[in-house]
Structure 1
Amino acid sequence: MVNFKTSRRTGLLLLLSLLCLLTVVQPTYAADPISFCKCVCGQKYRIQALPRDSQHPIFGGASKACVACTKQFCLDSVPEICLGVGTGEGDELTTSCFERDSYKDQFIVYLFLSITFGLLGFAGLQPFVKGLWQRQQQRSYAQMPL
């Protein structure tokens, strides 16, 4: 006969281990956000991905990816952006640098998804677990002789 308490503890331990693994794995994917440079000239704009920097703040260095977002970078990567606007020499060209996602936003989204799927899983498994529990209780009680 299978000990129900032992299998229950094993299942909870496995679930807790999986949850801990997911919380450790996810930040490693989010540790290297992509930086973008937005080049705007008149009504035209272009968003370019900046080259990745090996000296990211998480790995101990200062992020220098946004330093590459200059007017010259925009003119070199997209030379036709300022043609027909003013002089075309980049006088009207403005640049701005941004990262795709912040860590706080990612954390909130993943926390929401984890809680939602956890509650859905609990609601879906609850009738099954109740049925198992009732069958286990019926087997464990023996009828008293009259």
Structure 2
Amino acid sequence: MALVLLLLIPSLLTLFTKGVQAVELQMFCKCFCGSNSTIFELPMVDPKPCSNCTKQFCLDNVKDGMCDGIADETCPSNDFRTACFARDSFKDEIIVRIFLVIIFGLIIFAFIKPYVDQWKKDRQSGNQYTPVIDREN
């Protein structure tokens, strides 16, 4: 068990040091125009970048006439939606890394457990006192 912990400690340290390096997130705005959708990278100049994910932001950035009817009154308001999200967030990365560390730890533990059990059994039998028969008497 101690060997498994020794193997997991460097992985856990790597997990948290990588997490500190990945603090900078990138926010995205997904614009839905009817059945079409487009994803745009939001500028990170605001402390709340999701406040920029608006209908006007989408209309200004969409090309190829994908949302031509959105700008005028012919398009119903429920046909246009926006969604703000962060891709590769810190929380998601930590969850995946913890899962991987646990799985690899269990695999290593399952692999070495028979050897550790055999070693304990051999050590126990070696510590037992067996009297020597005195044949001269």
TM-score normalised to structure 1 length:
0.58
Amino acid at match of 2:67: C
> Secondary structure at the residue paired with 2:23?
coil
Distance 1:140 1:101, change over 3 A: same
Q: Which gives a bigger RCO, structure 1 or 2 (Cα 8 Å, sep 6+)?
A: 2
Cα RMSD for the two superposed structures: 3.7
Give the superposition deviation at 1:44: 1.6
Amino acid at match of 1:79: K
Q: 1:78 aligns with which of 44, 53, 62?
A: 62
Which residue number in structure 1 is paired with residue 6 of structure 2? 14
Give the percent of matched residue pairs that are identical in Structure 1 and Structure 2: 39
Q: Distance between the aligned counterparts of 1:125 and 1:36, measured in 2?
A: 46
Q: 2:53 aligns with which of 65, 69, 72?
A: 69
Q: How many residues align?
A: 127
Q: Does 1:35 align with 2:20?
A: no
Distance 1:97 1:90, change over 3 A: farther
> Secondary structure at the residue paired with 1:79?
coil
Give 1:82-121 correspondences, 5 Å limit: 82-83=67-68, 86=69, 89=71, 92=75, 93-100=80-87, 106-121=93-108
Give the superposition deviation at 1:47: 1.7
